[in-house]
């Protein structure tokens, strides 16, 4: 019997008209490429990927994240521009950028502090807020891909009101992951 579950903490993002239009436009532009598109129901801003989590760690996180939420106010985030993460020079993730703000940075710091206190290693990568649109397996025309996303760097897609964050369970399936909310934490 499995005693651990795979978890992460995120803000649910409800995509606006411009984000959905951009996603559909990308699906057309890059239809010959090997990109696995994220379903709009799964859009989220990951605050911290945790990974395998025990029941004790889960209880600790729930109790402590309630306190975090009670001490922080709701805030706005701005979605602007497009980018990609690369590995060994190859684009791997296509995303819409989310602008950093003082409130978002504070929330991420508090989440990180509590994840480490629950017994997990500190996150070594810098926080880069983004909304993943697709995961890239292969590109037919890499230069074309980069020229398309560079043209979209200044486009504002939407503002989102953040009034909560969520502790999720990630269930990996062959057809793609399922994200199951474990606990929703309401900000002040």
In the numeric block, the tokens 């230069």 are attached to 143
Q: Give the torsion sign (CA, 27, 28, 33, 34).
A: positive
Task: pLDDT band for 2, please (50, 70, 90 cuts).
Answer: low
Residue closest to 183 by CA, chosen among 58, 41, 45, 39: 58
Q: What is the CATH number of the domain that holds 53?
A: 3.90.1140.10
- What does the pLDDT look like over 78-106, one tens digit per residue? 999 999 999 888 999 999 999 999 999 99
What is the DSSP annotation of 40-109?
Answer: GGG-EEEEEEEEEEEHHHHHHHHHHHHHHHHHS--EEEEEEEEEEEEETTEEEEEEEEE---HHHHHHHH
pLDDT at 156 (0 to 100): 96
Query: Confidence band (pLDDT; 50, 70, 90) for 165?
Result: very high
Statement: residue 13 has pLDDT above 80? yes
Prediction pTM value: 0.94
Q: How many independent structural domains does the chain possess?
A: 1
Q: Tell me: the pLDDT tens digits for 98-133?
A: 999 999 999 999 999 999 999 999 999 999 999 999
Residue 174: pLDDT band (50, 70, 90) is confident
**Three-state secondary structure readout of 152-171:** CCCCEEEEEEECEEEEEEEE
Residue-number span of the structural domain to which 54 is assigned = 4-186
Percent of the chain at pLDDT exceeding 70: 99
Q: 145 CB contacts (<8 Å, ≥6 apart)?
A: 30, 33, 84, 91, 139
Q: How far is CA 119 from CA 26, 53, 58, 90, in A?
A: 40, 10, 11, 34
Give the containing element (helix H, strand E) for 75: strand 75-87
Tokens read off for 83: 């980018």
């Amino acid at each position: 019997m499995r005693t651990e579950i795979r978890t992460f903490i995120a803000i649910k993002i409800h995509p606006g008209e411009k984000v959905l239009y951009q996603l559909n436009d990308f699906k057309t532009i890059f239809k010959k490429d090997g990109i696995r598109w994220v379903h709009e129901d799964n859009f989220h801003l990951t605050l911290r990927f945790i990974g395998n989590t025990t029941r004790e760690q889960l209880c600790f996180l729930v109790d402590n994240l309630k306190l975090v939420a009670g001490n922080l106010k709701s805030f706005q985030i701005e979605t602007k521009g497009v980018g990609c993460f690369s590995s060994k020079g190859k684009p791997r993730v296509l995303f819409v950028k989310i602008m950093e703000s003082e409130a978002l940075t504070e929330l991420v710091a508090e989440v990180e502090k509590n994840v480490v206190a629950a017994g997990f290693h500190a996150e070594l990568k810098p926080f880069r807020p983004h909304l993943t649109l697709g995961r890239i397996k292969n590109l037919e025309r890499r230069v074309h891909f980069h020229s398309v996303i560079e043209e979209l760097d200044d486009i504002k897609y939407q503002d989102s009101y953040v009034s909560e964050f969520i502790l999720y369970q990630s269930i990996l399936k062959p057809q793609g992951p399922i994200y199951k909310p474990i606990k929703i934490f309401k900000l002040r």
